């Protein structure tokens, strides 16, 4: 399993209402705190991320490297809320 999936599984082990720290779990699995939080809250999912990567790859193969704004617009179309410039920056890392 990918580290993000392992982290989500660990969160799911907690009982409803039981306190846990996204930051501590993210650090334990070596992933971004914001990515873990958003994934757990259903704001992003692997299918959306895969679709965005495919979009970027398709444009790049056609010698049309996407701009940050193009990536932001594409991501916002499938996300549950508008995607920030900071989120695009984290995604590109």
- Give pLDDT tens digits for 16-38: 888 999 999 999 999 988 888 88
Within 8 A by CB and 6+ apart from 59, the residues are 65, 66, 70
For range 71-88, the mean pLDDT: 78
Q: pLDDT value at position 84?
A: 76
Picking from 43, 46, 42, 64, the residue whose alpha carbon sits closest to that of residue 55 is: 64
Query: Is 44 within 8 Å of 79 (Cβ atoms)?
Result: yes
* Residues 33-62 pLDDT 10s: 888 888 888 767 778 888 888 999 999 999
CA 47 – CA 22 distance, rounded (Å)? 22
Within 8 A by CB and 6+ apart from 47, the residues are none
CA 21 – CA 37 distance, rounded (Å)? 10
* Cut 0.85: pTM above it: no
Confidence of residue 93 (pLDDT cuts 50, 70, 90): low
What is the residue-averaged pLDDT of the chain?
Answer: 85
């Amino acid at each position: 399993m990918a580290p993000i999936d392992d982290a989500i599984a660990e969160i799911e082990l907690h009982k409803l209402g039981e306190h846990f720290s996204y930051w501590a779990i993210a650090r334990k699995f070596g992933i971004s705190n914001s990515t873990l939080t958003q994934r757990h809250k259903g704001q992003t999912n692997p299918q959306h991320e895969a679709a965005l990567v495919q979009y970027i790859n398709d444009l790049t193969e056609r010698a049309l490297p996407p701009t940050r704004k193009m990536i932001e617009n594409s991501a916002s179309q499938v996300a549950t809320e508008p995607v920030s410039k900071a989120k695009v920056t984290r995604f590109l890392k």
